[in-house]
Structure 1
């Protein structure tokens, strides 16, 4: 589970309440039900109006994913693919059907099953590319939905402030009440900006990032498994897959040292040459 979104949201609200405390602002003056109901209710209603009911429900169900989404490191993917390459090299491609039963990932299971069934490489690539795009569409649609909410919320907050200010103008004959009324009028704008920047936009951004990471993971798997099907040598396959990953994301350990300070791979090559 990646905790970045949870930590970020908590720090954002913590900074807000830290400022409130330092400015000696009454919390009760900021948590007013009427503007909060308008901002959250109307924002969600506007988002619903811009999509279908089925998609809106699916998008809302994606909220926990933004906070608990799992990020699989590329090194783990490469390790799994190299292990499958060694199995296929030793026992043949048909053995991958048994390997498919050992994994819970539907994408990996489908790819291994098709390889074991003898599916043509080009046809398998097209199938897996379509699967990758289809899998990513759910999170990407949810991301667009929440980014849209982030656009609606500030405007809805302004609408709430305008409505409250009309109430203020209707009570100009009571100057002793104008201060509190004006202060409460701007609470709607506060919650519109706050919900957009502390909730909706971060959730939308995180879902997009998770979709991109999942596409990258499945693409790495696809290229690796197609190479396994083509009979690539496991060690070279591992190097090829690592080359596809940005250096900052590889998480490679320092190469083990062989004799005379040479890398382990170099030492192994010399041993083979001998």
Structure 2
């Protein structure tokens, strides 16, 4: 679990609800079905119009990474590469073939298969880099779904506020309804700005950071696999790959 994301989500909720209470608006002042309909459903509608289906599905799938990111196994991967290079230098590249079925990562398994098959290092690099870039492009597009929601939500909040004020203007003859109507109008603005800055935009940034980290790990794997294919000294491989940690 990402403890920072959990703390951030809790503090964001406390700040919003606590601020409303301290300002005298109360918790009930934050609830407005009309504002929810305009801002939240409107934001979802806008992002559905913008996003291809495969990107939207991917966004839903990786949204869990905000609180439960994929494990970071850089040190373990380096140790594994050094172990494989030692085995390959002693027994040849074919000695790595039994290890293929043990790899759960399709990217790593594909790269190791090419090493075992004796594919030229330049070809290995080219093929794996193409696949890595495709992975990154797909996941960045998914992260941008939440970024787009963070852009649309404040604007829809303003629309909700304007619609609320229009309703207030129709009741100018009844002063008793003005205060409540104006408060309800500005609730939509809170929904828009609050959801964008406390949820959608932070989620997009967090996901982009995770995608970048995964890209670096794939780059490290590519370098390690090529070094094994070229028969490089295990110590040199370890030193080279350690640079990716920093």
TM-score scaled by structure 2?
Answer: 0.94
Residue matched to 1:57: 57
Partner residue in 1 for 2:210 = 210
Measured in 1, the distance between the counterparts of 2:106 and 2:53 equals 27
Q: Which runs of 5+ in 2 are unaligned?
A: none
- Residue in structure 2 matched with residue 13 of structure 1 by the alignment: 13
- Whether 2:186 is the aligned partner of 1:182: answer no
The separation in 2 between residues aligned to 1:2 and 1:30, in whole angstroms, is 28
Q: Which runs of 5+ in 1 are unaligned?
A: 247-274
CA deviation digits over 1:5-52, x for unaligned, max 9? Answer: 233222211222232333343111111111012111110111111122
- Counterpart secondary structure, 2:231: coil
Structure that is richer in helix per residue:
2
Q: Specify the SS of the correspondent of 1:231.
A: coil
How far did residue 145 of structure 1 move? 1.5
CA apart distance, 1:73: 4.1
CA distance in 2, matches of 1:239, 1:185: 61
Larger Rg over CA atoms: 1
Q: Report the counterpart of residue 236 of structure 1 in structure 2.
A: 236
Partner of 1:137: 137
1-structure distance, mates of 2:219, 2:200 = 29
Cα root mean square deviation, aligned: 1.5
- C-alpha distance in 1 between matches for 2:79 and 2:2: 21
Partner of 2:26: 26
Worse overlay, 11-20 or 137-146? 11-20
The answer (yes or no) to whether the contact 2:20–2:29 under 8 Å persists in 1 is no
Q: How many residues align?
A: 246
Return the alpha-carbon distance in structure 1 between the equivalents of residues 63 and 105 of structure 2: 21
Normalising to structure 1: TM-score of the pair? 0.85
